Amino acid sequence: MTRPSDVREGADTYVIGVDYGTLSGRALLVRLGDGAEVASSVLDYPHGVMSRELPGGPVLLPEWALQHPQDYLDVLRHTVPAVLAQAGVRPEQVVGLGIDFTACTVLPTRADGTPLCFLPGWERRPHAYVKLWKHHAAQPQADRLNAAARERGEGWLARYGGLLSSEWALAKGLHLLEEDPDAYAAAERFIEAADWVVWQLTGRETRNVCTAGYKAAYQDGAYPSREYFASVNPAFADFADKLRGPLVALGECVGGLSTAGAALTGLLSGTAVAAANVDAHVTAPAVGAVGAGQLVAIMGTSTCHVMTGGGLKDVPGMCGVVQDGILPGHYGYEAGQSGVGDIFAWFVNNAVPASVRADADAAGVDLHTHLSTLAAGLRPGESGLLALDWLGGNRSVLVDADLTGLVVGLHLHTRPEEIYRALLEATAFGTRVIVENFGVAGVPVHEFIAAGGLVKNAFLMQLYADVLNLPVSVADTAQAPALGSAMHAAVAAGVYPDIGAAAAHLARVKKAAYRPNPETRAAYDALYAEYLRLHDAFGRADGPLFSTMKTLGRLRRGGGPTEDATPAEAPDATPAEATDAGVLA
Ligand SMILES: Nc1ncnc2c1ncn2[C@@H]1O[C@H](COP(=O)(O)OP(=O)(O)O)[C@@H](O)[C@H]1O
Ligand SMILES: O=C(CO)[C@@H](O)[C@@H](O)COP(=O)(O)O
């Protein structure tokens, strides 16, 4: 294995960060001497996000989102050799490799790490595959997990803002058990894809403290107790056994590349491999956010908000606070919005007339750019529209995947760009709720730093500065998570003593690139006040319209108009069918 004393920060020394996003994985080659990003390579996952059906088979229910673990290996096989070839760098010049992943993106495996879906006979079983972070079918399980934790007075629940999300590992594990008990029994491990890939690279099974803490309720040195799991479902008592494996700190070297890992990547066996990390959390050091009050928003398909420091505070409705979860030695906070770019994508894919597409084509730009340009010509409030940004549910601060979207104020004259702008604004208002919620709980936000694919939309960035009334700094790299992973690789290789030191050398950020426009303040404050009224009316359990979205959701799934009512008609597919036949159609 490459040891700290063998390596140094030099002009001919490199590290690689691999960022596993929702749709693709990308490798970034970073030169340590000057921090230059010398080459990058992307592979779109061959299987993409499987939300409609499995390859050659069963149809999935609407809230499902699966991935194929083979795609993660293909990313390594294609992108790592590609960056070496592009830059003419030799494998021996690469001293470390780090990866980050979406999370909670989790899969059932055997004890040797073989994914269930790789095994003959399991190919058509949806529960044998990776459940992607945005697999939202486990809300009923999350509700029961939360109720049980409240009843038992579980102390760790406050670390999750009082509510575990249906996206996290406990809900997904219970979903696995209750819909496909055979798959649950066969799953000797239930492991984050992040840790699974590190396992494939090194031959060593570990659990990084970031995903264990934020996604699997690991707090103060333990997962929740057997008694707690059994109180939700007796057969779930052994769940924590499936999460076993040594915990590793961020920046720690898990081991050297195994022979198999070296064959997969084209790097030398023994090259240092860093503990896995989450795509959001790894971005904080990449943009130099290593101090209290610096909120980093990783804005892409979804938005994750991460912030380091500030001691231990309970923040209602946040995703979680974890010791060492972003930077070793500090508490790290996470909040999020389940749908952001996904909402804009839904709009351009489903609700834009052909004439607007033709205009975008004629202008030679994509629909996002075209609609953003038109939307920028409007003044705040001019459309008379106001939207709720819950097309992917609400991750913070309501923590309810059953909540849905809403546009108020539609008129016969409403134009597509007006709705598009209302959706952009809604996501900014959702972010403001999160920022204000942190402040009220005693974790004030002083700086907002945006990273991720949406940073390229200058209109959106200015909108966020205006709505939040905060300067918006932006990542000065299109590959911030991969850069963060490369930094962790450098720490694992012993080039830097810690992540703070790596950030001091390698972080890339444009400070206060967007400043709030005082002229829009009053209009946005007024719109935000109305947004809050809708938010509380539809989203809070004591709100007057709370039952509306719940009822609509039940009807959409083929259930009855009230919780106890008999289903109006059989749904197209049910979880029970999944269990019986391993298929959903
Ligand atoms: N110019 C744009 N303005 C707003 N949204 C955009 C724009 N271009 C792409 N998007 C949205 O950004 C999302 C992709 O973000 P990205 O950060 O690249 O991906 P990921 O979140 O998977 O890492 C998609 O949901 C897409 O609809
Ligand atoms: O939830 C987390 C991290 O906690 C993210 O991995 C998830 O939102 C997916 O991020 P992307 O939108 O793919 O960048």
369 pocket-lining for ligand 1 (C-beta < 6 Å): yes
CA of 94 to the centre of ligand 2 (A): 28
User: How far is the C-alpha of 259 from the C-alpha of 488, rounded, in Å?
Assistant: 22
CB 535 less than 6 A from any atom of ligand 1: no
What pLDDT does 55 receive?
Answer: 84
Residues 89-122 pLDDT 10s:
999 999 999 999 999 999 999 999 999 999 999 9
Question: Ligand 1 in contact with 21 (CB < 6 A)?
Answer: yes
Which residues contact ligand 2 via a Cβ below 6 A? 21-22, 102-103, 133, 278-280, 298, 300-302, 304, 334, 336, 452
Distance between CA atoms of 405 and 388, rounded to whole angstroms? 5
265 in the same domain as 135: yes
Measured in degrees and rounded to the nearest 5, phi and psi for residue 99 equal -130, 155
233 and 377 housed in the same domain: no
What is the pLDDT, as a whole number, of residue 76? 98
- For ligand 1, atom 24, name the residue with the nearest CA: 341
Task: Please state the domain count of the chain.
Answer: 3
Per-residue buried b or exposed e for 276-292, using 16+ beta carbons within 10 Å of the residue's own CB: bbbbbbbbbbbbbbbeb
CATH code (residue 197): 3.30.420.40
Residue owning the nearest CA to atom 13 of ligand 2? 22
Answer whether 303 contacts ligand 1 (Cβ < 6 A).
no
- Give the model's confidence band at 559: pLDDT under 50 very low, under 70 low, under 90 confident, else very high: confident
Q: Which atom of ligand 1 is nearest to the CA of 366?
A: 1
Same-domain pairing of 205 and 90: yes
What mean pLDDT comes out for the span 478-497? 97
Q: What element of type H or E holds 447?
A: strand 447-451
C-beta neighbour count of 58 within 10 angstroms: 18
Query: Do 107 and 254 have their domain in common?
Result: yes
Query: Looking at the domain assignment, is residue 76 inside a domain?
Result: yes
Mean pLDDT for 463-471 is 97
What are residue 544's DSSP bridge partners? none
Ligand 2 centroid from CA 20, angstroms: 10
Ligand 1 pocket mutation, candidates 301, 374, 420, criterion most atoms within 8 A of CB: 301
Residue 197 in domain: yes
Determine which residue's CA is closest to atom 4 belonging to ligand 2.
103
Asked if residue 265 is part of any domain, the answer here is yes
- How far apart (Å, rounded) are the C-alpha atoms in residues 208 and 318? 21
Task: Give yes or no for residue 458 CB within 6 A of ligand 1.
Answer: no
Kindly indicate the confidence band of residue 10, based on its pLDDT and cuts at 50, 70 and 90. low
- Closest by CA to 17, choosing from 48, 35, 40, 45, is 40
pLDDT value, residue 560: 78
Output the CA torsion sign for 576, 577, 582, 585: negative
- Amino acid code (one letter) for 424: L
Q: What is the mean pLDDT of residues 178-187?
A: 98
Q: Tell which of 278, 298, 324 closes a domain.
A: 278
How many CB atoms within 10 Å of residue 340? 31
| Residue given tokens 């795509």 in the structure block | 279
Instruction: Classify 47 in phi/psi space as left (phi over 0), alpha (psi -120 to 50) or beta.
Output: alpha
Q: What is the pLDDT of residues 488-547, one digit of tens each?
A: 999 999 999 999 999 999 999 999 999 999 999 999 999 999 999 999 999 999 999 999
Rounded distance between C-alpha atoms, residue 268 and residue 246, angstroms: 25
When pLDDT is cut at 50, 70 and 90, the band that residue 572 belongs to is very low
Pocket of ligand 1 contains residue 421 by CB under 6 Å = no
Q: What is the CA radius of gyration of the chain?
A: 23
How far apart are the CA of 302 and the centre of ligand 2, in A? 6
Judgement on whether residues 18 and 162 belong to the same structural domain of the protein? yes
The protein residue whose alpha carbon is closest to atom 1 in ligand 2 is 103
Please identify, by atom number, the ligand 2 atom nearest to the C-alpha of residue 338. 8
| CA 44 – ligand 1 centroid, Å | 14
Q: What CA–CA distance (Å, rounded) separates 212 from 229?
A: 16
Looking at the fold, whether 48 and 195 belong to one and the same domain comes out as yes
- For residue 357, give every residue at least 6 positions away whose Cβ sits within 8 Å of its Cβ, in sequence order, or none: 367
Q: Does residue 131 sit in the same domain as residue 210?
A: yes
Atom of ligand 1 nearest to the CA of 456: 1
Residue where a domain stops, chosen among 432, 452, 478: 432
Count of residues in the chain: 585
Q: 31, 35, 124: which is closest to 84 by C-alpha?
A: 31
Question: Are residues 354 and 330 in contact, defined by beta-carbon separation less than 8 angstroms?
Answer: no
Strands 386-388 and 406-408: antiparallel
The number of the ligand 1 atom at minimal distance from the alpha carbon of 348 is 27
Question: Are 238 and 379 part of one and the same domain?
Answer: no
The residues near 140 (Cβ < 8 Å, ≥ 6 apart) are none
Q: What whole-number distance in Å separates Cα of residue 257 and Cα of residue 273?
A: 6
Domain boundary among 258, 278, 298: 278
Alpha-carbon gap, residue 111 to 312, rounded angstroms: 36
Is the pLDDT assigned to residue 77 strictly greater than 80?
A: yes
Distance from residue 24's CA to the centre of ligand 1 (Å): 12
Distance, in Å, from the CA atom of 215 to the CA atom of 463, rounded to the nearest integer, reads 31
Pocket test for ligand 1, best of 75, 344, 348 (most atoms within 8 A of CB): 344
Give residue 259 CA to ligand 1 midpoint distance, Å.
37
| Whether residues 73 and 175 fall in one domain | yes
Torsion of CA 56, 59, 65, 71, to 10 degrees: 0
CA–CA distance, 312 with 309 (Å, rounded to integer): 8
Domain of 561 in residue numbering reads as 556-581
Mean pLDDT, the chain, rounded, equals: 93
> Integer distance in angstroms from the first to the last C-alpha of the chain?
49
The residue whose CA is least distant from atom 5 of ligand 1 is 341
Q: Partners of 31 in the beta sheet?
A: 14
pLDDT at residue 582 in the model: 30
- 120 Cα: distance to centroid of ligand 2 (angstroms): 31
Q: In this structure, are 126 and 8 located in the same domain? A: yes
SS (H, E, C) 377-405: CCCCCCCCCEEECCECEECCCCCECCCCC
Ligand 2: which atom is nearest the Cα of residue 481? 14
Single out the residue of 438, 467, 456 nearest to residue 513, CA to CA. Answer: 456
Q: Identify the residue whose C-alpha is closest to ligand 1 atom 19.
A: 300
- Ligand closest to 168 (CA) is 2
Question: What sign does the dihedral 510-280-196-225 (CA atoms) show?
Answer: positive
ipTM of the complex: 0.94
Bridge partner list, 289? none
Q: Taking 60 as the threshold, does the pLDDT of residue 585 lie above it?
A: no
Segments of 300-376 assigned E as strands: 303-308, 320-323, 331-337
| 3-class SS of residue 283 | helix
pLDDT in tens, 17-76: 999 999 999 999 999 989 999 999 999 999 999 999 998 878 888 889 999 999 999 999
